[in-house]
Amino acid sequence: MVQERNKGAEKRERILQSAIKVFARKGFYNTRVSEIARTAGVADGTIYLYFKNKDDILISLFNDRIGKLNDEMERQLAALDSPSEKVKRIVSIQLGLLRGHKDLAEVITINLRQSNRFLKQYAAPGFNRYLDIIAAVIQEGQQSGDFRQDVSPRVAACSLFGALDGLSLTWVLGTRDADRLARAGQQVSHIFIEGLRAPETTGT
């Protein structure tokens, strides 16, 4: 019974893993269900015991993984104090995805944007939570006096996310040199931390 449930979960996971791998290489619409099945070592029909349809694979994939990423992000940020350190950590986690989970990062960076409707309907909640986590860090920095107040935390969050996404995109399309990516991360952290820093209240 319990073992069966485990086995079921394990198979579902194997299908998701395979989907990530194939989507990353071919893109969602150029991937056939039969190829995911083959990669996962199951029959075509088996996919439909675990997912409602092909769309559901992408949606489950995203929700599952972005949820874990958000949890991990919150956990790590909670252990840090300074807003600047937190910004650095956000940068390293988002770019770190490309190291540790290259295929997943590619799917999120490239293939997730399929259509307006898809994004709005399915990806928005997880994406918004991600942005909220970043925005909370910015706001915290503003309250502590580290960051300037005349920037909307939400705008800063979208920008930071976007900047990292842009770097990921060009990295995926280009050299894929890990060191280079790490250096880029430091520079982006720098730009944002300096760009957000509250002006020194000299005199008056």
Question: Rounded distance, CA 204 to CA 120, Å?
Answer: 48
Give the x/- contact pattern for DNA in 24-63, rule: CB under 7 A. -------xxxx------xxxxxxxxx---xxx--------
Question: Nearer Cβ to DNA, position 45 or 203?
Answer: 45
Please say which residue, 12 or 129, places its beta carbon nearer to a second copy. 129
**Which residue lies nearer to a second copy by CB, 34 or 187?**
187
Site for a second copy in 75-134 (CB under 8 A): 106, 109-111, 113-120, 124, 131
CB of 10 to DNA, least distance (A): 9
- Nearest approach, Cβ of 66 to DNA (angstroms)? 22
Instruction: Tell me how many degrees the CA angle 180-184-189 measures, rounded to the nearest 5.
Output: 150
Binding to a second copy (CB under 8 A) within 144-183 occurs at: 150-152, 155-156, 158-167, 169-170, 172-173, 183
Distances (CA, A) of 171 to 15, 39, 175, 187, 195: 27, 26, 6, 15, 23
The binding site for DNA (CB under 7 A) comprises 1, 3-4, 7-8, 11, 31-34, 41-49, 53-55
